[in-house]
Amino acid sequence: MLITKTAQAGSTVKSDVLITVSPSETPGIHLELKSKDVILKQFGKQIEKVIMDKVKELGADNVNIRAEDKGALDYTIRARVQAALERASN
């Protein structure tokens, strides 16, 4: 999957996550996660893993990912990452 432009999916309402993806000039997947401190402390690693697993599953590389989490469950994170990547690759 080739990321050619900046795209977003999701929202900043409760239980959702806003994912923004854009092409990166440097190789790899560059992830920035924003959430409440307490969430980051307790679930930050898990949220990052869910995002990274989905990105790798879809075969995206050379990509910047910004996730603004509002308490999304794993299924929502996976869905929003997929939607953002598909939009960015069209």
Partner 1 sequence: MEKNTRSMYFVPGNEPKMLQDAPVFDPDAIVIDLARRVPATEKDSARILVKEALQFLDYSNVEVIVRINPLSSEYGLKDVETIAPVKPNALMIPKARVEDIQTLANMLSGIEQAQGLEEGTIKLIPMIDSILGLESVHSIINASSRVTAAFLNAEDLAADYGSKRTKEGDEILYARSKVSMACRAAGIEVIDTPYMDINDSEGLEMDTEKANLLGFTGKAAIDGRQVEAINIVFDASLRQAAFPQAHTHI
Residues that bind partner 1 (CB under 8 A): 9-10, 13-16, 72-76, 78-80, 82-83, 86-87
Q: How far is the CB of 46 from partner 1 (least distance, A)?
A: 14
The nearer residue to partner 1, 2 or 28, going by C-beta atoms, is 2
Helices 74-89 and 37-57: crossing angle in degrees, nearest 10, is: 50
Q: How far is the CB of 82 from partner 1 (least distance, A)?
A: 5
The nearer residue to partner 1, 35 or 76, going by C-beta atoms, is 76
Q: How far is the CB of 18 from partner 1 (least distance, A)?
A: 11
* Bridge partners (DSSP) listed for residue 68: 18, 34
- The first and second tokens of residue 61, run together, are 């590389």
Q: In 2-77, which ranges are E strands?
A: 7-10, 17-23, 29-34, 63-69
